[in-house]
Amino acid sequence: MKLKTVSLNLWNGGRLMESALDFLRDQDADVVFLQEVYDGTDPGLEPRFRSMQVLADELRYPHVEFAPAMLDKLPQGDIAAGSAILSKYALQAADLIFFNEPFHELTSTDPRTFSTMPRILQHVTADFPAGALNLFNVHGVWDLDGDNFGERRREMRDKILLAIKGKSNIILAGDTNAQPTNEMWPPIEAQISSVFGTALKSTFNMKHKTNPGYATARVDMIFVSPNIKVLEKQCHDADVSDHLPLTASLEIGDR
């Protein structure tokens, strides 16, 4: 059976929310992996701080799972922030794995928090007709050097390997904050395959970046287990975030 996926870092909850919503409506994917999502509930907040509510109201996905990574202390209030998976198929939350720091309060706009900000691997299972899917939504530990293989990235690699061990029908997607050439990937790619590999030039929208290094940063990725065939794949030049969205059309077969 066929399945379409989208992966997108929303950018601070959705700084370009209307454009992001238009893109997601147009793609009409079966499963959507999102990072930098807010779960504010005050109706007076601007839409990006109410990402979960706005996404649910506008996109009408029947199944949604939010994974809180931190409590962001902002001038607008204290708001839970994390990742989310939207699905046309029933979801069951399985695990929420923290790579570096546990859930805690912080101010995401303070540059001093960037390297220690809690980063997570959200794991849910989806009731797909061809068999249960293991969906992993990754938001990787931050390091301005995407090829640096330090202690935090080593811990991230080891936790991903442990999470996927012994599982089938795996789709892992998200903003890894690591280059595909990083030393952390080979052991993971021995288990699951990178859909884009090293083919992409960048996964950042340079309309919203001033550091030229982002023009060659390829941190958004999709991985699939061996029994999943990639039918189509695309990194979209779409002005919906400071990241570029990825899509992959897949066919789920027997392992």
* Cβ 6 vs Cβ 27: under 8 Å: yes
Identity of the amino acid at 181: T
* Cβ 188 vs Cβ 160: under 8 Å: yes
pLDDT for position 115? 83
Mind giving me the DSSP string for 24-50? HHHH--SEEEEEEEE----TTS-GGGG
* Cβ 207 vs Cβ 238: under 8 Å: no
- In our burial notation (b when 16+ CB lie closer than 10 A, e otherwise), range 157-177 reads bebbeebbeebbbbbbbbbbb
pLDDT for position 254? 57
pLDDT for position 255? 47
Per-residue pLDDT tens digits of the chain, which is 255 residues long: 999 999 999 999 999 999 999 999 999 999 999 999 999 999 999 999 999 999 999 999 999 999 999 999 999 999 999 999 999 999 998 899 999 999 999 999 898 888 889 999 999 999 999 899 999 999 999 999 999 999 999 999 999 999 999 999 999 999 999 999 999 999 999 999 999 999 999 999 999 999 999 999 999 999 999 999 999 999 999 999 999 999 999 999 754
Q: Is the pTM of this model over 0.85?
A: yes
Looking up residue 166, the CATH number of its domain turns out to be 3.60.10.10
pLDDT for position 253? 78
Q: Provide the number of structural domains found in the chain.
A: 1
Give 123's strand partners: 95, 136
Q: Which residues form the domain of 147?
A: 2-252
